[in-house]
Amino acid sequence: ATDLMINKFGVNEELAGTIPSMLPFGTILLTPFFGNLYDRKGKGATIMMIGSLLIISVHALFSVPFLHHWLIAVLLILVLGVGFSLVPSAMWPSVPKIIPEKQLGTAYALIFWVQNWGLMGVPALIGWVLEKYCITGQVVRDGLTVNTYNYTLPMMIFTGFGVLALIFAFLLKAEDRKKVMDLSYQILKNIISYDKN
């Protein structure tokens, strides 16, 4: 993220880490707020969809070559923080709604398993893509020759991950709707059978 700020947005090296550091700070503040919103209103799948759409939009805008002013970077990082807060605040409490209690341990383990594969594999993938397809030249910094990169392709990869998250949010919404319909059907069936007696 720091290199993106230097290469794409022309941020000074001493300040380049400041903009990405706004992301975790924002999520620290916002995730509990959105979790409370979920507790009060529900709508977990909708919250995940909104978060996914924000993540998709931010990464798509990061990939646009002519958007390179540092204020745009700050704005996009702040919006990304909102997206990163919305998704987990709705995802984690939604798991017990769709997974039977006796399988919750396995479900959470699988979620962490996938997450850890992502934490291991995505940086390796992005590093490989940058080195293979995105080198735009070289510059000398602090006496060292370093590559400069075009971050369009890596940002499109992140956009693709956001699209996957959106697809899963739609699947969750469909599953949630199905369970509500099943529950409503059972209640209606019980009322009808009670009236007959």
Q: Cα–Cα distance between 55 and 59 in angstroms, integer? A: 6
- Residue span of the structural domain in which 152 resides: 2-196
Contact 164, 68 (CB under 8 A): no
As for how many domains the chain has, the answer is: 1
Which value, in Å, is the radius of gyration of the alpha carbons in the chain? 22
Dihedral, CA atoms, 65, 78, 173, 186, nearest 10 degrees? 180
* Tens place of pLDDT per residue across the chain (197 aa): 888 888 888 888 888 889 898 888 878 888 898 989 888 888 888 888 999 999 999 999 999 989 889 999 999 999 999 999 998 888 888 888 778 889 999 999 999 999 999 999 999 999 999 999 999 999 888 888 989 899 999 999 999 999 998 998 888 778 777 766 554 455 556 566 655 65
- Kindly report the backbone phi and psi dihedral angles of residue 52, in degrees, each rounded to the nearest multiple of 5, phi listed first: -65, -40
Report the CATH number that the domain containing residue 166 is assigned in CATH.
1.20.1250.20
Rounded to two decimals, the pTM is 0.80
